[in-house]
Amino acid sequence: MRILVVEDNVALADGISTALGHIGLAVDVLGDGVEADEVLRTQAFDVVVLDLNLPGCDGLEVLKKLRARGDDTQVLVLTARDQIEDRVTGLNLGADDYLTKPFELVELEARVRALLRRTSGNKSPAISVGPMVFDSVARTARVNDVPLELPKREYGLLELFLSRLGKVISKEQIADGLANFDDEITPNAVEIYVSRLRKKLQGSGLVIKTVRGLGYLMEKP
């Protein structure tokens, strides 16, 4: 799952990126509102963590333009402003949640996880599909109560498939969902990750099918 953090405080942005990276998310960081608006016009993210006080273009303006384009990406607004009017304005413009600075990183992690669950339609952090139990908070996956040993990329791939169960996902979408600006995941690498995950899912009932010319489809038991 891919997250965009738009925050001009370098130390805070690094802290957020590190915290979200540790829970298996691909994180990109920008510090300018104009650049963020340009990136959001061409690239897809699962959640945007958006500061309001940004150089170039105010965070509220970035949010306003995002929603005006019909983009329903989940947005968590960060603000040092403690006035109720700023929170109300952000929510009225289409923010999905807000967090007032200073905050604890563990709370931000929890809110981002909640937004990701909302995107996939799962209110609970634990998803049960046949004999598999996937827990996005504990960062575990078990089949018949046996833990699956999944490296970061394979875990992220499983989370991506489960969030779009029964839907075709292209190789490009998989690469975008697993990589950040500094990474490059080739189509061959995607094939390798899918092949490895297929083997580890044997006995789970979950099947990853190749849809020729389109991508991959995970079907439940």
pLDDT grade, residue 122 (50/70/90)? low
pLDDT of 138 reads: 75
Phi-psi region of 207 (alpha: psi -120 to 50; beta: other; left: phi over 0): beta
| pTM listed for this prediction | 0.72
Domain annotation for the chain: domains and CATH numbers: 2-120 (3.40.50.2300), 126-219 (1.10.10.10)
CA distances from 107 to 43, 50, 101 (A): 26, 15, 11
Alpha-carbon 137 to chain mean position = 14
Residue 73 has pLDDT above 60, yes or no: yes
| Closest CA relative to residue 206, chosen from 164, 153, 156 | 164
pLDDT of 117 reads: 82
Tens of pLDDT, residue by residue over 191-217, are 999 999 999 998 888 999 999 989 999
Question: Once rounded to an integer, what is the mean pLDDT over residues 71-98?
Answer: 84
Contact 122, 159 (CB under 8 A): no
Residue 81 has pLDDT above 70, yes or no: no
Contact 180, 26 (CB under 8 A): yes
Say whether 98 sits in a helix, a strand or coil: strand
C-beta atoms surrounding 187 within 10 Å: 12
Tens of pLDDT, residue by residue over 141-191, are 888 888 998 888 898 899 889 888 889 999 988 988 887 666 778 889 999
pLDDT of 37 reads: 96
